[in-house]
Copies of this chain bind each other. A is one copy, B any other.
Amino acid sequence: MNLLLKEIRDSPMLWLLAAVPVVFAAAILVPEAHTALFILSVLAIVPLAGLLSHATESVAAKTGDAAGGLLNATLGNLTELVIALAALRAGEYTLVKASIAGAIVTNTLFMLGASFLLGGLKYHFQEFNRASARLQSGLLFLATIALLMPSAVAGADSTSAAAAAQKLSLGLAVLLMAGYGLGLLFTLRTHREIFAGADHTQTGEVPWPIGLALATLAGVTVLVALVSEIFVESVQKAAQAFGMTPAFVGFIVVALVGGAAEMASAFSAARKNRLDLSVGIALGSASQIALFVAPVLVLLSYLIGPSPMDLQFWPGAVVMVLLATVTAMFVTNSGRSAWFVGVLALMVYMIFAMTLYVLPPAMR
């Protein structure tokens, strides 16, 4: 417990934890103050995500290579998963899908691009493990193709097309999870020697004792889930107050909030010239959302959602995911980076953000 308090004292971001009780109090006292609730819930989620991430890594560090890798691979995007579950339970499928696509695009372009830029401003050139980047890009490309297909099938807009898209989505969800599992087998077992250096767990932070880590993991997950409920309820109305389109909110705002903790790790690694780690966090997180979180949400929608969710995304979102994946393939292809490579990825992200910002409401 002292360790946890020390961690909070040392890390300025964790001072934001003060927002957690405030947001709960506000949700009860002023449930209609959507803009305030939105800002408070964002301020509360960011430090909770940071704690969650540290706790996961601490448990992973104790359980050894393969099990730890597996744990990181499944719980690494717990924050995104919990936020999406809150939206799923509320039947906000458009928001769930926008946040999935947005998280893939944000991790692939913003987290990767900003890592390249921040690292590149300090170092003339930086090297990283190409094999790892290629594998993650390949998994992302697979997921992108899977997201493309249901939109193609459902083009006809008839009832039989919708049923076909739903059946296909279920099959694709199982296939993507199988692909993700085989990818873990490849990177953690059969060919792990070529992925050395891209290991998630080497963040350099001191791991917590296992008891503290497990307790934090459980407690903080509950807190994130509770704050997410408030976040999901307030985000759309707050967005209107700020003049943002729903697409912009789902794609950009939710993705930046959900990924804040990982971004902090990725950027700090880039500044320490450990670009392997930055690339691993950015692309690994994107492929995890595409091949693990999204399928899990489809399967869970049969249990907890008002109706089954399919994988049929807004065509514009699919195009953005596809272009983000191709951009990631392109910028990581040489295994070497300089500041301008980061600028390129960030500019693609800005083009998407600008497009979503001006999108007429009729188009989602």
**Residues of A with Cβ closer than 8 Å to B?**
124, 134-135, 137-139, 141-142, 145-146, 148-149, 152-153, 155-156, 158, 160-161, 164, 167-168, 171-172, 175, 178-179, 182-183, 186, 190-191, 316, 319, 323, 326-327, 329-331, 334, 338-341, 343-344, 347-348, 350-352, 354-355, 358-360, 362-363
What residues of B have a CB within 8 angstroms of the CB of A352 in the complex? 149
Q: Which residue of chain B lies nearest to A323 when distances are taken between CB atoms in the complex?
A: B145
Q: Is there an interface contact between A149 and B351, defined as CB atoms closer than 8 Å?
A: yes
Q: Which of A186, A191, A347, A350 has the most CB of B within 10 A?
A: A347
Q: How many copies of the chain does the oligomer comprise?
A: 3
Interface of A is mostly: helix
Q: Which residue of chain B lies nearest to A327 when distances are taken between CB atoms in the complex?
A: B141
Q: Which of B152, B164, B358, B362 contacts A168 (CB 8 A)?
A: B358
Q: Which residue of chain B lies nearest to A324 when distances are taken between CB atoms in the complex?
A: B145
What residues of B have a CB within 8 angstroms of the CB of A152 in the complex? 316, 319, 355
A352 vs B316: C-alpha distance when bound (angstroms): 21
Least Cβ–Cβ distance between A122 and chain B, in angstroms = 13
Q: Is there an interface contact between A183 and B153, defined as CB atoms closer than 8 Å?
A: no
Q: Is there an interface contact between A354 and B161, defined as CB atoms closer than 8 Å?
A: no
What residues of B have a CB within 8 angstroms of the CB of A186 in the complex? 338-340
What residues of B have a CB within 8 angstroms of the CB of A338 in the complex? 186, 190-191
A160/B344 contact (C-beta < 8 A), A152-B355, A172-B351 known: no
Q: Which residue of chain B lies nearest to A134 when distances are taken between CB atoms in the complex?
A: B334
Q: Is there an interface contact between A360 and B191, defined as CB atoms closer than 8 Å?
A: no
User: Which 4 A-B pairs have CB atoms at the shortest separation, nearest pair first?
Assistant: A186-B340, A164-B358, A149-B355, A160-B360
Q: Is there an interface contact between B153 and A360, defined as CB atoms closer than 8 Å?
A: yes
Least Cβ–Cβ distance between A292 and chain B, in angstroms = 15
Q: Which residue of chain B lies nearest to A361 when distances are taken between CB atoms in the complex?
A: B160
Q: Is there an interface contact between A142 and B175, defined as CB atoms closer than 8 Å?
A: no
Least Cβ–Cβ distance between A195 and chain B, in angstroms = 11
Q: Is there an interface contact between A347 and B164, defined as CB atoms closer than 8 Å?
A: no
| A/B interface sample: 30 pairs, CB < 8 A | A134-B334, A138-B344, A141-B326, A141-B327, A141-B330, A142-B344, A145-B348, A146-B351, A148-B323, A149-B351, A149-B352, A149-B355, A152-B355, A153-B359, A153-B360, A153-B363, A155-B363, A156-B363, A164-B359, A164-B360, A172-B351, A175-B350, A175-B351, A178-B347, A179-B343, A179-B347, A182-B340, A182-B343, A186-B340, A190-B338
Q: Is there an interface contact between B138 and A330, defined as CB atoms closer than 8 Å?
A: yes
What residues of B have a CB within 8 angstroms of the CB of A168 in the complex? 354-355, 358
Least Cβ–Cβ distance between A189 and chain B, in angstroms = 11
Least Cβ–Cβ distance between A100 and chain B, in angstroms = 17
Q: Which residue of chain B lies nearest to A152 when distances are taken between CB atoms in the complex?
A: B316
A327 vs B145: C-alpha distance when bound (angstroms): 10
A281 vs B128: C-alpha distance when bound (angstroms): 31
Q: Is there an interface contact between B347 and A175, defined as CB atoms closer than 8 Å?
A: yes
Least Cβ–Cβ distance between A37 and chain B, in angstroms = 29
Q: Which residue of chain B lies nearest to A340 when distances are taken between CB atoms in the complex?
A: B186
What residues of B have a CB within 8 angstroms of the CB of A331 in the complex? 138
A226 vs B194: C-alpha distance when bound (angstroms): 52
Q: Is there an interface contact between A148 and B319, defined as CB atoms closer than 8 Å?
A: yes
A190/B339 contact (C-beta < 8 A), A156-B363, A164-B358, A354-B175 known: yes
